[in-house]
């Protein structure tokens, strides 16, 4: 699909050289005494698949609706391609929205649903059939023009909604949990198809979801939201591997958090003394500017578990001692919960690579937990959340 209606934007401050399609600066939205969106600043790059991720009530849908013009901010600026759109209604913004309900017209067939926006824009009548056919091919629905939307499956209806939104070639496409009504298998299939579609059309997608896996599967970058604020923004791998706050660490997958005190430097690492007296290492850059007392974390799949008490590591790995509380076989892995010497409970995912003769550690046994120091992250509490970039 050609993109010939781009308007000049502002250059991204993050050093990519790409222009900014959507900019929010100090945006606040209140509903009575409730602050739904609390001073958000954010740049979304041209051609980016950007997700707003967070639990129900965190402000992600309200943020999307303000970008689309369905709600107006009480304070702050919203720009599309460098132009302030404050006060403009949805039909005067170069954006389209796909809702979870699809909002298709049941009395119209597929062709007329997709052509609706073209007719409202007064596109020449003889140009409409070709544009509709091209977009239906793009969403893998060729030959469905005469079908009623009530005759389609949920996945097909979702494709029609996408086609109707994309046929107008908007500068930005807003998607408010559009896969929420689909069953799990179709939802996973559509995640991959939607990412491929976005890559093909080159339009900026802003996607709202509460599903962590969905956001990480499709997004170029993710903004994790909580209580109307942005906790962290970054590529999925960065947000997962290096969460900035305790909330992000817990919301994106499982995390093990331990309390410690910052000790002396050790090359590219810093020594951390745990409450148990055991010592581990963390990347030095992760504790810059931190107070002496910190919380460090490690993901369950990064930890290796071995029988017996703590012994010196020959390769510089972190290691702590614990007692197995529970061991559960879940097919692809064994899941252990281990009580550490300082009273924390650590979860370990051990991949199922063994044979029938292997005996995994049993509840009550003493074990050693080991992981690479570079897999350790350090988090702030709520007050350390990151607002924007």
| Beta partners for residue 271, in sequence order | 281
Domain 1-94+170-181+197-237 coded CATH 3.40.50.300: yes
Q: What is the pLDDT of residues 114-157, one digit of tens each?
A: 999 888 888 889 899 999 999 998 888 999 999 998 888 888 88
Q: Which residues of 57-84 are buried (b: 16+ CB within 10 A; e: fewer)?
A: ebbbbbbbbbbbbebebeebebbbbeee
Give the residues of the chain that fall short of pLDDT 50. Answer: 1-15, 382-389
Residue 228 has a pLDDT of 96
Residue 86 has a pLDDT of 85
**Which CATH number does the domain 254-381 belong to among 3.20.20.70, 3.40.190.10, 2.40.50.140, 3.40.50.2020?**
2.40.50.140
Q: Is the dihedral of CA 180, 236, 38, 81 positive or negative?
A: negative
- Residue span(s) of the chain under CATH 2.40.50.140 come to 254-381
Q: Give the SS3 label for residue 235.
A: coil
User: What's the rounded Cα separation, in Å, for the pair 9 and 171?
Assistant: 11
- Residue span(s) of the chain under CATH 3.40.50.300 come to 1-94+170-181+197-237
**Total-model pTM:** 0.86
Alpha carbon 302 to chain centroid distance?
A: 21
């Amino acid at each position: 699909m050609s993109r010939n209606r781009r308007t000049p934007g502002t250059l991204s401050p993050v050093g990519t050289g790409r222009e900014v399609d959507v900019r929010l600066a100090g945006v606040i939205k209140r509903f009575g005494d409730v602050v739904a969106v609390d001073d958000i600043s954010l740049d979304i790059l041209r051609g980016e698949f950007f997700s707003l991720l967070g639990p129900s009530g965190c402000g992600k849908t309200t943020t999307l609706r303000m970008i689309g013009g369905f709600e107006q901010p009480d304070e702050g600026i919203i720009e599309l391609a460098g132009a302030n759109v404050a006060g403009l209604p949805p039909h005067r913004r170069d954006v389209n929205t796909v809702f979870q309900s699809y909002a298709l017209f049941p009395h119209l067939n597929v062709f007329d649903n997709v052509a609706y926006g073209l007719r409202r824009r007064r596109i020449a009548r003889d140009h409409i059939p070709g544009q509709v056919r091209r977009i239906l091919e793009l969403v893998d629905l060729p030959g469905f023009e005469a079908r009623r939307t009530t005759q389609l499956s949920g996945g097909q209806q979702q494709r029609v909604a996408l086609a109707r939104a994309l046929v107008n070639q908007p500068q930005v496409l807003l998607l408010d949990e559009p896969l929420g009504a689909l069953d799990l298998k179709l939802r996973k299939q559509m995640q991959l198809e939607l990412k491929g579609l976005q890559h093909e059309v080159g339009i900026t997608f802003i996607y709202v979801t509460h599903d962590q896996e969905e956001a990480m599967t499709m997004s170029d970058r993710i903004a994790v939201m909580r209580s109307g604020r942005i906790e962290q923004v970054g590529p999925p791998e960065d947000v997962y591997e290096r969460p900035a706050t305790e909330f992000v660490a817990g919301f994106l997958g499982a995390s093990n958090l331990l309390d410690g005190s910052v000790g002396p430097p050790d090359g590219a690492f810093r020594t951390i003394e745990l409450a148990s007296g055991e010592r581990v290492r963390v990347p030095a850059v992760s504790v810059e500017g931190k107070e002496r007392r910190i919380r460090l974390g490690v993901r369950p799949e990064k930890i290796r578990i071995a029988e017996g008490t703590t012994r010196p590591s020959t390769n510089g790995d972190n290691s702590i001692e614990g007692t197995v509380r529970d061991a559960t076989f879940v097919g692809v892995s064994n899941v252990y919960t281990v009580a550490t010497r300082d009273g924390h409970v650590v979860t370990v995912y051990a991949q199922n690579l063994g044979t029938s003769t292997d005996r995994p550690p049993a509840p009550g046994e003493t074990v050693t937990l080991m992981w690479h120091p570079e897999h350790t992250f350090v988090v702030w509490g709520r007050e350390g959340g990151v607002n924007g970039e």
